[in-house]
Amino acid sequence: MSGEEAALALASDGHIVWAEDGDAATGEADTGLARESAGVLKTTDGAAGAGSLKVTGDLDVVGTLTGGGLPAGTLETTTGAQAKADAAVSAHTAAGDPHPQYLTQTEGDARYAAIGGGGGGGASSGPVFPLAEGYGFSAASGDPLMFMMAIGIANDTLYLAKVWVPAGVAINKLWVAVRTAGTQLGGNAPNQMGLYSHAGVQITTTAADATLYTVAGWRGLDVAAPVAAESAGRFVYVGFLAGGMTNAQMAVPASGTDASAAYVGLGNGITSRRAMRQPSTTSLPGSFNPATFGTSTGNVPLVAIS
């Protein structure tokens, strides 16, 4: 177009038109950028083609975005989408267990015996008599079949045993195997159980129960604060106290001497004791040193968790 009076004008219907002499009514509508209807901006590359809209500055969307498959009220850009994708990949890579519904290598090693390994069976057959299916426990201080001996439960004495907790296992209840039922006469220490970390720090305890050792068999108490599962296996200590009991006995795997403590209590490079007892104790301690606390013993008490 040429001419001194040529101008870009807005027609009465809101379309952008090129016109001469300032008369928008006689101009030709610009089909590349137009007001399609009230409140609607339409871009094309011509009457039959789809165009694009380039915004150099900020774009403020007040209304609701529709028609692009995006959630209402949102506007996704190439830069924003790429940033989200990069962040998702980074988070997935950094996660210790990005797929919690599947076992990681560590979890698998902790939960299943290796082929040709101990436990009476390989990974294909599993253990000879698994704790979960056979006893309803998640972990224990040993195979109950091996605990055929008994020793008396001394009053005002804390007994502790190390327990391996597999990955993905929560702790809601503590158990002790009572070999022979006793009678409760009342005493100083509460009949109570406690859970400790491998470093000897108290995690949670049960309530006291005067009937804990008055019935033979597995005796369990709920912990005050359930312990969430962890992504890797770890050791814990399960302890129990007795007070005012007579004739109660616990199950142990060896005779009532500590001659086996030299090789049962510790191992190659291991300084934390597998089992120990501490007399003159009337309450569960807040912490203890697993390398030096009490007396190391081969009389490992049979305890479990679920």
Name 203's Cβ contacts closer than 8 Å, sequence gap at least 6: 195, 196, 197, 225, 227, 236
**pLDDT at 197 exceeding the cut of 90:** yes
Q: Which two tokens stand for residue 160?
A: 């502790």
**For 121-153, how does the pLDDT look when each residue is reduced to its tens digit (9 = 90+)?**
444 566 788 888 899 999 999 999 999 999 999
Of the listed ranges 90-94, 160-164, 217-221, the one predicted with least confidence: 90-94
pLDDT cut 70: percent of the chain above it: 66
**For 279-305, how does the pLDDT look when each residue is reduced to its tens digit (9 = 90+)?**
999 999 999 999 999 999 989 999 999
**pTM, two decimal places:** 0.61
Mean predicted confidence (pLDDT) in 186-211: 94
Query: How many beta carbons lie within 10 A of that of residue 225, not counting itself?
Result: 11
The whole-angstrom separation of Cα 260 and Cα 162 is: 16
Of the listed ranges 40-54, 154-168, 253-267, the one predicted with least confidence: 40-54
Q: What's the mean per-residue pLDDT of the chain?
A: 80
Q: What is the pLDDT of residue 48?
A: 57
Q: What is the pLDDT of residue 115?
A: 41
Q: What is the pLDDT of residue 99?
A: 74
Between residues 159 and 254, the one the model is more confident about: 159
**pLDDT at 211 exceeding the cut of 90:** yes
Strand partners, 237: 162, 196
Q: Alpha carbon of 202 to those of 96, 262, 265, 282, 288: distances in Å? A: 26, 26, 21, 16, 9
Backbone CA torsion sign across 29, 33, 36, 40:
negative
Burial class (CB in 10 A: 0-12, 13-18, 19+), 283: middle
Q: What is the pLDDT of residue 93?
A: 79
Q: What is the pLDDT of residue 75?
A: 60
**For 62-117, how does the pLDDT look when each residue is reduced to its tens digit (9 = 90+)?**
766 665 555 555 565 656 667 788 888 888 877 767 777 666 655 555 454 444 43
**pLDDT at 216 exceeding the cut of 80:** yes
Range list of β-strands (E), the chain: 7-10, 16-19, 28-29, 33-37, 40-43, 139-140, 149-152, 157-165, 171-180, 183-184, 192-197, 202-205, 217-227, 234-242, 245-246, 249-252, 275-278, 295-296, 303-305
Between residues 95 and 166, the one the model is more confident about: 166
Burial 192-222 (b: 16+ CB within 10 A, else e): bbbbbeeebebebbbeebeebbbeeebbbbe
Residue identified by tokens 């309803």 is 136
Mean predicted confidence (pLDDT) in 39-60: 67
**How many CA atoms within 13 Å lie on the side-chain side of 261?**
17
Q: What is the pLDDT of residue 123?
A: 47
Between residues 12 and 163, the one the model is more confident about: 163
Query: How many beta carbons lie within 10 A of that of residue 284, not counting itself?
Result: 21
